[in-house]
Amino acid sequence: MKMELKCKVQNYDWGKLGRESTVAKLVSSAHPNEIIEESKPYAELWMGTHPNGPSLIIDRGVLLSEYIRDNLDAIGPTVRKNFGVSVPFLLKVLSIRKALSVQAHPTKEHAETLHKRFPDMYKDPNHKPELAIALTPFEALCGFRLLAQIKEYLRRLPELTSVLNSENVEELLSLEEPVDSNALKQVFQSLMTSNKAAITNSLQSLLARLEKEDPFVQQSLHYPLLKRLHKDFPGDVGCFAPYFLNYLELNPGQAIFLKPNLPHAYISGDCVECMACSDNVVRAGLTPKHIDVPTLVEMLDYNSYTKEHLLFSPQLEDPNSCIWRPPVPDFAVVKIMVQSGGSYNTINRPSPSLILVTSGSGEICDTEPIRARPGTVIFLKASRQLTITPEDGSHIEIYQAISNV
């Protein structure tokens, strides 16, 4: 039974344009009749049952969510017991041209409270932990820096401290690791609630000064990044985020796990992303969307992280597959690579799967063969297997999202 899916493209303004976008390339490869507009942003490809971007089973002409309701075996008893009749995760591809908002995602309990109090803003009661796996060189801000680094920036950037509460800054500068999270919270709150005109002036002053500095100083004070952020979001308080949050450059195949309350912002690049089936985001900068500074400041994880702490590594399952297992039951992600001349049977799992081909070509077979090419998306029922066979001279690379049960 063929279960190939047609999936929803989201054309958010921050997406890469036309065929520069991995999203557009995948869609064009899987559906050659789709017209790609070179001036249009192709930001996200959504795979799953979320009502804002539901997937369609091509051969049946029905939504995946409808099929599941009528075929309970597709979910399997283990996932049904934990999550009901649903696919509890959402698989995406993101293609980022300019930064996404400085944001964090609430815990399950906090999400339920926010949804109850502000249903128009927080539209579901679920948490939204995320895993991002780089497909191309990928930039992100993630987690608060070590205190020593934040203190160094505060000492070297009078333009930044001019908009902060001086008593809060002095208190933070007097501390040693491990940082008193309340002291850092006070400084960050002081930044995020600063007068907009003062932020605009301080950013312009800082950019003017750094422009005249030598390349080493510019690099050490993130001038190239600051300049890019300010170009896309002039006068935005989020432009100061790199001085508080770790700046990460991921190579293809590297991943970060974004647990609840961890501040982050994607900056550029393409990635596979998997998350709990939710759209709950609390934003505070680098966005034209609604921001909720009081909620964000209260909920954030103010612990310090190193870059090494933030990288999330997979475990090898067999010679063809590795798995990223976050500490949540909602999802895990498997990467499968099958080289030319070989064939591979996927591991039988108690969860339904969403399967995305990211490169290569060949055949994927359950009971009926499906031609595999970049952009092919398949739904696999719980406790079923697929046989993956590359064409001669090719390979097949696949990302498989499952429940972590």
Residue indicated by tokens 């600063």 = 194
DSSP letter for 101, please: P
Ramachandran angles phi, psi of 369, nearest 5°: -75, 145
- Nearest by Cα to 96 from 229, 222, 292: 229
Three-state SS at 269: strand
Return the H-helix or E-strand segment holding 227.
helix 223-232
Give the torsion through C-alpha atoms of 345, 347, 349, 353, to 10 deg: -60
Catalytic, out of 117, 156, 209, 283: 283
In one-letter notation, the amino acid at residue 213 is E
Instruction: Find out whether 133 and 256 touch, Cβ atoms under 8 Å.
Output: no
Q: Within its chain, how far is the Cα of 391 from the centroid?
A: 32
Going by C-alpha positions, the residue among 280, 380, 278, 366 that lies closest to residue 334 is 380
Question: How many angstroms separate the CA atoms of 326 and 294, rounded?
Answer: 28
Alpha helices by DSSP H, 31-131: 64-70, 77-83, 108-117
Which token pair is 305?
């992280």
Output the six-digit token pair for 35: 């017209």
- The answer to whether 128 and 280 have CB atoms below 8 angstroms apart is yes
Q: Reply yes or no on whether 325 is catalytic.
A: no
DSSP code string of 202-214: HHHHHHHHHHTS-
Residues forming the active site: 283
